[in-house]
Structure 1
Amino acid sequence: MQLVRVGSLTDFTCAVYSCTTAAPTATEAARFLAQATLGANRAQVQAVQSSDYATWIEAQFAAPRSQGHYDWLMANGYSAETFRDNAQGLDNTVWRKLVSHTDPLRQRMVLALSEILVVSATGLQGPWAQFAAANYLDILETNAFGNYRTLLGQVTLSTAMGNYLTFRGNRRSTNGSQPDENYAREVMQLFTIGLLQLDANGVPSAAETYTANDVSQLARVFTGWEYDISGLTAPLPPEVQRRPMVQNANAYETGSKSFLGMTIPAGTSAMVGLNTALDTLFNHPNTPPFISRQLIQRLVTSNPSPAYVGRVAAAFTNNGSGVRGDLQAVLRAILLDTEARDARTAAAPTFGKLREPVVRFLNWARGFNASSPGGRWDIGDLSNAGTRLGQSPMRSPTVFNFFRPGYVPPGTDAARLGLAVPELQITNETSVAGYVNYMQRAVAGNGIGDVRADYSSLLALASNPAALLDEVNLVIAAGQVPAATLSTLATALGTIAATTDAGRLNRVHAALVLVLAAPEYIVQK
């Protein structure tokens, strides 16, 4: 067996990373890209086939970033006064990158991080909310292949997080009042250490990680942080949402702060105190398995084995060069692990994940080269479950994301087996019908807004229903729809006359919608 090697991977073994004796098949490459991207076209599948997984990952790490969300809003006129008190333009730039940009692993990671370190445009108050959210996405993108500690620090001082979790303008205790505890609670519960003590493999104990007193003490660190308005004049321009928050010394709690068994001494400066607090959380033994498990859930499987979590957490703890929090090492560990790559593991009924609605939409859009000829990317907010997807990026209803990572759907076989199925938390009769109807409109209704897909590769196969379905199955579903189902679908497609251009296009539309609605596609294996 030949070990996949690249750069710092040379010291790892086949017990950690996938070994291969041959180039991946088209199905294997498509399955890898289903985990590593938000959708891939046939050319991208072939590119992985001609290379190997590790080399593809390294090329993604080296890929240049394109124009950021904040800069795109500025370039497209959203700094005009008419946009001050709304979030117009945000959806446009979000879809622009998620659908079209040529750094698919980075965009996949941005979506995953946005569902862990949650900020939602629906909860942003104050002027220029679209610029605050855009800058937040730029932070996630900048650090998607960086270090989690750097990401945590920049997230904490972003105006988006300060506004969303209500600690911007937080003041020290006065006359019996206490500082707002929102961020102190969530930075522990959701962004670093979680609720329960974990072992190195992410297996929880009954012991809680923090107490109410830890929350109230940590909240004192997050006082005095405010907009940086230096050099700006009223009314404040969008620039205020791009700048990290700064200290208002009159509002900062200068006393000692004791939490999680450590103390920040009285008189410690605000920035030193903040960094000490974040260092404490970052270096907590819970943080590697807690964050690693959630990233595995977003990319690969909802119920990773403790051993899989342990291997990824080990990469988080030490990238092989003594660095903690290296997200490149974490991504390599997630995507190259034998549990992710082994087809026998994938066949197990407990392996895999429900594709969230946004990912299904993006699989179609990226798989068939959707573009916006006018450059507007006018897809909009897809949050309505009855008429759209029931989910839209950067529009989570709460800080707990669209769905909880540990959600177990009651009254199901998953519940009987104790399995988490996070995405089922937003799945119901309304959303199931809404998804299929929306995708039918997207596929067969001349696109969404100004966004159009390119079906030229499929039209060439339309006269042969089996060949057409095989191609759609590979590009959209990584070959997961079984032969028996494809045979049934081919019979249905055969009833659509394909003797005219319109007939051939109807066949293509039907093939796409049928595969996008197939349960074997919706469950990513």
Structure 2
Amino acid sequence: MTYQYILKISRLCLLGTLLVGMSDGLAQDVISISTLNTDMSERWPQPATVVIRRSGGVKAVTVPISFGGTATKAVDYASSAGSSVTIPLGAREVWVQVRPLTDALTEPTETVQVQVQAAPGFTLSGSSSVSINLLDNSGLANDEEATRFLIQAGFGADPDELAEVKLLGFEGWINQQLTRPKGYLQPVIQARRAAGKDIFHPATKIALWTQAMRRRNPPGGGTVQTDVLRQRVAYSLLQIFVISQNVDALSLNSEGVTNYYDRLMDGAFGNFRQLLFDVTLHPCMGVYLSHVGNRKPDLSINRYPDENYAREIMQLFSIGLWELNQDGTRKLDGNGKPIPTYTNQNITQFARVFTGIQYGGPGNTQFDYSGENFLYPMKVWDQEHDMDAKTLLNGTVLPARTYNGANTQTLGMLDINAAIDNLFNHPNVGPFIGRLLIQRLVTSNPSPAYIGRVSAVFANNGSGVRGDMGAVIKAILLDPEARSFDKTLEPTFGKMREPYMTLMNMAKTFNAQPQSGDYESATYMYEFYLQEPFQSPSVFNFYSPNYRPFGELTALGLFAPEFQILTAVTAIETQNNLLNSVENEISRWGSSPANQMKLDFSQEIPLANDPDALIRRLAIRMTGGTLRPRSFQNIREAVLKIPTSNATWQIDRVKMTAYLIGASSEFNIQK
């Protein structure tokens, strides 16, 4: 039997039901009223939704309503309904939007009361009215606004960080995060080795989870100086300055890889120039992009410098492929064509700069006898560095240097620093790197004005400093486009949450900490998400920042990077793993009791008997309150099918709610 045939039968059955209901009028409408929001705020003017439900009949029914409370309609708030609403034929719910109106007055909390009036044709069930609090524009973020901020700036809105954000405000919280001690990953690997545990490639994921999952106020007491924002930015930088343990030399070297990640931690709020320098001379990058052991050219044996890193430091790590205006739009030549930022000749010249580079460390004192060392920056040995003059970008010329045959490291480093300066001062860097970070944190399609504001801060942090990453991150997160409620209403604003980030968000929000402190259960997730930290399939990351899926987004000229790894397989696998995470634990194969990562729903269980309150709470915690009324209705009706006669009905309802919200578009599309 085909699906089309089944659908036809279903439609005929539905039509028959409707016709019977209209013809005999046996079913009596029972009307109830509820609200999907208990509060609304002038500061964050997200409408409250009053829902009017009916059970029993299927005919269209008109329900009189009235508005009261201490707030004044059309002055303090606007409503999508007048004196009545009509539930259409066959529908079970209608929604009334109550939108706060912002003013400059300082006012106490007001109330909006919506009441259902009795009328022929239906009976009322339960309370006939609901009341919504209207909060003044106090300058303090509410739960919805603060949660949205932490979805962008962290790994999800765990209660401790949420309280900090609401207390300090967005800028105050960022300022505090800028000064927090760095939660480095390398010490986690060292502690695992000391404890006799494995430290091959899964250990890097364990280390990242260990630091990202720390709580400000842990159950054991005390206060932890969590650096949530730094961890989130370093995670994003890893997708720009990509290395991968898919390379054999790095697969078993988790300490070296986490040492590299810790340099990204340093650079997250440091200066971009230093970050680019640290990346260039880190041995993990030297192995991954093959410039470690790069020797000067020797035409007599047909030897030329490796060009791999020379290409990618320009294409991916600093200036991109095309000349940019400061707002990120492409510069055009006289024929209206985009202008390349570099040529093959430029790659050749930069490749000559990156010669004479070899493993560093105190034991490596010669180029030819340097052992692998992934914990120290690489050294530049003059005897294997190309000393001839080189021409870089924008006409910058590096002079020929005179090498005296000594075992020195001075002249080659002059060229390295000059090349880093050449790229760092290129006008493309601000808009190019700014856009990539906006895409990772806030939205896939930032406006030119947004990119321009971030580029301006990159060029000058307000104190004459170029490349201040702390200032750049603050500019990204505090920009009006990032913080505006109105942007959440635009269909082209926002981004698909990274598939792997959906898992981390659930774990962070619901405190899935193992008793042992060992996050081994969170590893081996690549097959579910086509994404896992330190496992990128190439230097181009898991997806391109310029990816456009076929269809409407391409027609609109919009980008949707994360959609590149959303396939027919991952669309199912991610939801299956979400279900397993909610129902059981976060794990690929299961784990020992001490290592179990279970989502903590203890705060939600008391709400199981009130589906509206339960869904309302979880929707705020997981999405920042963006769950649409239709999704709310579908989830509520599914939850009510779990009878209270079941022994585990309370936790079953909570898990069903969390799973269905986690599977919703409102959770997976970050607004």
TM > 0.5 fold call: yes
Q: Choose from 510, 533, 537 the match for 1:393.
A: 533
Counterparts in 2 of 1:237 and 1:244: CA distance versus 1, 3 Å: same
Q: 1:264 is aligned with what amino acid?
A: L
Which of 392-401 and 458-467 deviates more? 458-467
Q: Deviations 1:122-179 (Å, cap 9, x if unpaired)?
A: 1252685212211111111122111111111111111110011011011111122211
Q: Choose from 492, 495, 502 the match for 1:360.
A: 502
Q: Choose from 376, 389, 397 the match for 1:263.
A: 397
Work out whether 1:469 is the aligned partner of 2:615.
yes
Instruction: Tell me the equivalent position of 2:578.
Output: 439
Secondary structure, in 3 states, of the residue corresponding to 1:207? coil
Provide the rounded CA distance (Å) in 2 between the counterparts of 1:180 and 1:438: 42
TM, length-normalised to structure 1: 0.90
Q: Choose from 163, 172, 185 the match for 1:69.
A: 185
Q: Is the 8 A contact 2:612 2:636 kept in 1?
A: yes
Instruction: Tell me the equivalent position of 1:300.
Output: 442
Q: Is the 8 A contact 1:128 1:241 kept in 2?
A: no
Q: Pairwise mapping of residues 137-156 of structure 1 onto structure 2 (< 5 A)?
A: 137-156=261-280
Instruction: Tell me the equivalent position of 1:159.
Output: 283
TM, length-normalised to structure 2: 0.71
Provide the rounded CA distance (Å) in 1 between the counterparts of 2:185 and 2:159: 28
Provide the rounded CA distance (Å) in 2 between the counterparts of 1:213 and 1:238: 33
Q: Deviations 1:57-114 (Å, cap 9, x if unpaired)?
A: 1111122223x2222111211797986xx43522211222233362211111011101
Q: 1:165 is aligned with what amino acid?
A: L
Provide the rounded CA distance (Å) in 1 between the counterparts of 2:400 and 2:385: 12
Q: 1:309 is aligned with what amino acid?
A: I
Work out whether 1:170 is the aligned partner of 2:284.
no
Q: 2:396 is aligned with what amino acid?
A: M
Work out whether 1:87 is the aligned partner of 2:201.
yes
Work out whether 1:228 is the aligned partner of 2:360.
yes
Q: 1:197 is aligned with what amino acid?
A: E
Secondary structure, in 3 states, of the residue corresponding to 2:603? helix
Q: 2:343 is aligned with what amino acid?
A: T
Q: Is the 8 A contact 2:185 2:208 kept in 1?
A: yes
Counterparts in 2 of 1:78 and 1:130: CA distance versus 1, 3 Å: farther
Secondary structure, in 3 states, of the residue corresponding to 1:196? coil
Q: 2:247 is aligned with what amino acid?
A: G
Q: Choose from 507, 511, 523 the match for 2:657.
A: 511
Q: Is the 8 A contact 2:364 2:371 kept in 1?
A: no
Counterparts in 2 of 1:195 and 1:444: CA distance versus 1, 3 Å: same
Q: Pairwise mapping of residues 233-312 of structure 1 onto structure 2 (< 5 A)?
A: 240-260=373-393, 261-267=395-401, 269-312=411-454
1:328: Cα distance to partner?
1.2
1:286: Cα distance to partner?
0.3
Which of 47-56 and 311-320 deviates more? 47-56
Provide the rounded CA distance (Å) in 2 between the counterparts of 1:105 and 1:229: 31
Provide the rounded CA distance (Å) in 2 between the counterparts of 1:327 and 1:496: 50
Structure of greater Rg: 2
Q: Deviations 1:326-381 (Å, cap 9, x if unpaired)?
A: 01111111111111111112211111101011111111011011112112211113
1:514: Cα distance to partner?
0.5
Instruction: Tell me the equivalent position of 2:324.
Output: 198
Instruction: Tell me the equivalent position of 2:339.
Output: 207
Provide the rounded CA distance (Å) in 1 between the counterparts of 2:398 and 2:616: 61
1:224: Cα distance to partner?
1.3
Instruction: Tell me the equivalent position of 1:322.
Output: 464
Instruction: Tell me the equivalent position of 2:479.
Output: 337
Q: Is the 8 A contact 1:128 1:238 kept in 2?
A: no
Q: Choose from 543, 551, 568 the match for 1:403.
A: 543
Q: Is the 8 A contact 2:387 2:401 kept in 1?
A: yes
Q: Is the 8 A contact 1:312 1:334 kept in 2?
A: yes
Q: Is the 8 A contact 1:26 1:45 kept in 2?
A: yes
State the Cα RMSD in Å.
Answer: 2.3
Counterparts in 2 of 1:493 and 1:239: CA distance versus 1, 3 Å: farther
Counterparts in 2 of 1:69 and 1:62: CA distance versus 1, 3 Å: same
Counterparts in 2 of 1:383 and 1:23: CA distance versus 1, 3 Å: same
Q: Choose from 172, 186, 191 the match for 1:55.
A: 172
Structure ranking higher in helix proportion: 1
Q: Is the 8 A contact 2:202 2:523 kept in 1?
A: no
1:501: Cα distance to partner?
6.2
Provide the rounded CA distance (Å) in 2 between the counterparts of 1:256 and 1:305: 41
Q: Is the 8 A contact 2:192 2:198 kept in 1?
A: no
Work out whether 1:481 is the aligned partner of 2:627.
yes
1:433: Cα distance to partner?
0.2
1:477: Cα distance to partner?
0.8
Which of 182-191 and 365-374 deviates more? 365-374
Question: Any stretches of 5+ residues in structure 2 without a counterpart?
Answer: 1-136, 216-225, 332-337, 403-410
Q: Which has the higher contact order (CA 8 A, sep 6+)?
A: 1
Secondary structure, in 3 states, of the residue corresponding to 2:558? coil
Work out whether 1:452 is the aligned partner of 2:595.
no
Question: Any stretches of 5+ residues in structure 1 without a counterpart?
Answer: 1-19
Q: 1:72 is aligned with what amino acid?
A: V
- Report the identity percentage: 38
Q: Is the 8 A contact 2:392 2:422 kept in 1?
A: no
How many equivalent pairs are there?
498
Instruction: Tell me the equivalent position of 1:414.
Output: 553
Counterparts in 2 of 1:126 and 1:520: CA distance versus 1, 3 Å: closer
Instruction: Tell me the equivalent position of 1:14.
Output: none
Provide the rounded CA distance (Å) in 2 between the counterparts of 1:87 and 1:42: 31
